[in-house]
Chains A and B, each alone.
Chain A
Amino acid sequence: MSEYIVEMRHVTKRFPGIVANDDVSLGIKKGEIFALLGENGAGKSTLMSILFGMYEPDEGEVYVRGKKVEHFSPNHATAMNIGMVHQHFKLVSNYTVTENIILGMEPQKRLGGFLPVVDIKNTNQKIADLSKKFRLEVEPTKKIEDLNVSMQQRVEILKMLYREAEILIFDEPTAVLTPQEIEFLLDIIREMRRNGKTIILITHKLEEIKQVADRCAILNRGKVVGICDVAETSTKKMAELMVGREVSFTQEKSPFRPGEVKLTVDHLVVKNADGFPVVNDVSFSVRGGEIFAIAGVAGNGQVEIADAVAGLTKVSSGTITLGGKEITDAAVRARNRQGLAYIPEDRQSWGLILDFTLSENLLLRRYDQEPYCVKGVLHREKFDEKSRQLIEQFDIRSGQGEKTVVRSMSGGNQQKAIVAREIDQDAPCIIFVQPTRGLDIGAIENIHRQILEERAKGKAILLVSLELDEIMSLADTIGVIYNGQLLKIAPADTMSTNEVGQYMMGVKE
């Protein structure tokens, strides 16, 4: 028997087009907090999903407590006392905490000696005790819909503890939490270690690792690039390993020559459905020829800023000005006509109509204008003519040219189609939200080149990205968002990656 409770040997997992995990070997000791560090898409979640049985590795072996894992399924993982808190909680909203926790393994009692009933009452007590033991402060009789995100996460933790999980995997647990809640969570994690649990923490936040983790494996593009003792390794060293010494794509960037202000956002507040301000008093402006990039951890309000500017989300207070005219309450189409192009984050549910043809999608912003539409009648041949030109110009590949149904196209080409449509409008202001999400390297470079070309043409560009790499290589000005507020706005060349990262974690004020 080895010293490791979990050991992965030469694990490789491929998905169509990418190798998510490439010959990964690592060992996790019993009773430690082990962190998996890496950027988005580095393969951390995939690796842990294999451990939790959601995927089967293509090559390599996994050992738990010295025994080789033969069957990969969440049920088998649970039987091996492995538990996982996913990024998206899996909770029944109209059930109480207790009901959620016991779902699937409900304790029964016999009413009158023969009628089986689910025993909620006694379980409530058991769960209250468990919550106390790990200092989770969860009330078992509360309904999930009445709890905030942090509480819901603790319910997920309780779910694992109730199932007597000994190895607990946390997938980016702090992405949706406030700083105070993060502190609270890290305390809980320490408490669990004190109780002899083994914890695996998936994250890309160095600060957290420094705070709680014992050891840390760093992944880059599916490969383990280092396993280190956290106490003996500097944050800087870890950051270097995470980003990779060689920055893979540096683009030829023309010198920064800002023009006049094109887009101004002033004291913007956006509230979510519960009335909570997800964007809180944000002000910035973007000049022609400038790439203004908003950096930040997912869910800190950056997408809401972009949606508010594009008119897809209601603004609670503050103003948005485009090219000198206020557009705070303007309709989506009016903003577009006034010179705002928008590449949305979720290309399949917002950016495209998947069951429409490529030609129709390419004209989605202009179908009602001449010459495509004259007196309410569409001119399909003009659609196709324009589409063929865009397909050629932007190198959009598809099975049947402009007649292809977009659903059947690859993600990269779908994104190219959106970019083509938006750039072709020649709007003075363009918003890019996560323009390279889920794309392969070739497609990423292509999109980056186009963003820089638009900058060279004097466009004002607002870029929202979760990839620090992308921001560092493209931005002229960086605004770092944390918890709905822009903590820092500064020229890109005055900030190092580490500094931006620290603002992103809300560390530096």
Chain B
Amino acid sequence: MKQNRKGNSLSRAFVALMGSEKRQSITIPLFAICLSLIAGAVLMMILGKDPIIGYKSLLQGCGLLMKKNYAGGKGLLTDFMSYLDIWTPMIFAALAVAVAYKAGLFNIGVSGQMLIGGFIASITVGYSDLPAVIAKPLVIVICMVIGALAGSFIGLLKYKFNINEVVSAIMLNYIFQYIISFFILTFFVNPITRQSNPVGENARLTLQNVQIAGMKTVIPLGFVLAIIAVVVMHYFINHTRIGFELKAVGANKKAATYAGVNANKNIMLAMAISGALAGLAGATYYLGYLSSIQPKVLASTGFDSIAVCLLGNSNPIGIVASSFLVTIISKGSMYMNSSVGLPQEIASLITGLMLLFAACGVYIRARPKRTKDRLDQQDRLEAAERKDSASEEGKEDDR
């Protein structure tokens, strides 16, 4: 009985910490993040390094903390701007996953949609002489349209032929990957880099070699767009009729139909929006952060974005926070490697663990409720017992 008591107080603390359903959307990802950061710290210690220095170097590599010294013409701003540059596509990609997820769909094809959008924009606008004011917006539009088409094709396959969106998205990923590789290697290859020819500066969404306060830096124009997209998507999902219908279809297709929502239309729409956002990720990745496409490689951004979306609870604001963190780990790992000597691979390992713990979320979510129910039941029984014994005592007094 005593043992039981002790277990109870632990369970009670657990319930108090994780129980509130409102807070769970924040506590569970935090739980996952903390666990994986601790795991990462343990790994660093095993490798004989100080985890605090290790994590600090991640921040330094992203321009969030001052490094000890900088090479000529470089500084905090240089690092920070290049951090923003790689953060941008991650935000778009995670938003793409989130929109589909809200409608009950799993878009694992973000990488493919990024690639096809980026490729088409590269060969059309990227290799053209259009003036920058036309070329840049055109890149954005083309990527969005191509991405939306690729996305809605998956939606079409789902509702017309009842093909699971995960299967068709994976198939399309490979089809895009190899076809584009063929075209690049056959028509657009740069013989030295073995990648596609770089796009012109006119079409590129990241301005290169800009001088600010004596420092050379990049300016990722796409980042502004990403922040706008976050705000728009947040508003769209939470405050518009279409967003409401999308969520309704995702949460309960039957009840949505009952409420008069056309579920098939919403599946197409969600995949189109998701694809368009993936296209934007492609634009800022292949024609922003990079300027060329490596054949036969899908951007890992598309897959990491799943982790970001899960951690961010598929909420646009949450995604800003989780993508901020995940990008720090991936981007900062390069500097961590060169300055502290920790292997770069540790970064993707930490991200992978975050994903693993986040995937346990359903279980963690259900657990406190079950524990709470058990405790409540126990309390009721005990209260009843007390009452019984009390009334019995009372009877004896009467006698």
Contacts and interface: CB of A to CB of B under 8 A. Distances in A.
Q: Do A and B contact each other directly (Cβ–Cβ < 8 Å)?
A: yes
Interface of A: 310, 312, 331-333, 336, 342, 344, 349-356, 360, 364-365, 367-368, 373, 376-378, 380, 405, 408
A333 B239 CA distance: 21
Contacts of A364: 248, 255, 258-259
A355 B251 contact: yes
A367 B244 contact: yes
Nearest to B377: A16
20 contacts: A332-B257, A332-B258, A336-B260, A350-B255, A352-B252, A352-B255, A353-B248, A353-B255, A354-B252, A355-B252, A360-B244, A364-B248, A364-B259, A365-B259, A367-B259, A368-B241, A376-B240, A376-B242, A378-B240, A378-B244
Contact of A331 (B240, B242, B251, B260): B260
Interface of B: 21, 239-242, 244, 247-248, 251-252, 254-260
The 9 closest A-B pairs by CB, nearest first: A333-B260, A353-B252, A364-B259, A332-B260, A353-B251, A353-B255, A355-B251, A373-B241, A376-B241
A352 B252 CA distance: 8
Given A376-B241, A380-B239, A405 B258 contact: no
Nearest to B373: A16
A351 B241 CA distance: 19
A354 B21 CA distance: 14
Given A310-B258, A351-B258, 5 more contacts: A333-B260, A349-B252, A356-B251, A376-B241, A378-B239
Nearest to A369: B241
Contacts of A350: 254-255, 258
Contact of B239 (A354, A368, A377): A377
Nearest to A379: B239
A367 B241 contact: yes
Label chain B's interface by main secondary structure.
helix
A77 B256 CA distance: 43
Given A368-B241, A378-B239, A312 B258 contact: yes
Contacts of A351: 255, 258
Contacts, number: 60
Contacts of A344: 258
Nearest to A400: B22
A382 to B, nearest CB: 12
Contacts of B251: 353-356
Nearest to A333: B260
A377 B247 CA distance: 15
Contacts of B21: 405, 408
A424 to B, nearest CB: 15
A380 B244 CA distance: 11
* Residue from B244, B254, B260 whose CB has the most chain A CB atoms within 10 Å: B260
B368 to A, nearest CB: 13
Contacts of A373: 241
B101 to A, nearest CB: 13
A262 B241 CA distance: 31
A202 B248 CA distance: 40
Contacts of B241: 367-368, 373, 376-378
A422 to B, nearest CB: 11
B24 to A, nearest CB: 11
Nearest to A355: B251
Scoring B240, B241, B242, B248 by chain A CB atoms within 10 A of each residue's CB, the highest score goes to B241
A378 B240 CA distance: 5
A174 to B, nearest CB: 29
A340 to B, nearest CB: 11
Given A378-B244, A408-B21, A353 B256 contact: yes
B305 to A, nearest CB: 23
Nearest to B262: A331
Contacts of B259: 332-333, 364-365, 367
A356 B257 contact: no
Nearest to B255: A353
B168 to A, nearest CB: 25
Contacts of B239: 377-378, 380
A312 B260 CA distance: 10
Contacts of A365: 259-260
A490 B240 CA distance: 49
Contacts of A352: 252, 255
A364 B252 CA distance: 12
Nearest to B256: A353
A408 B372 CA distance: 13
A355 B255 CA distance: 11
A382 B256 CA distance: 21
Nearest to B239: A378
Nearest to A366: B259
Contacts of A332: 257-260
A177 B252 CA distance: 32
A351 B254 CA distance: 8
Contacts of A349: 252, 254-255
B155 to A, nearest CB: 21
A367 B244 CA distance: 9
Contacts of B240: 376-378
B325 to A, nearest CB: 26
B397 to A, nearest CB: 29
Nearest to B248: A353
B131 to A, nearest CB: 35
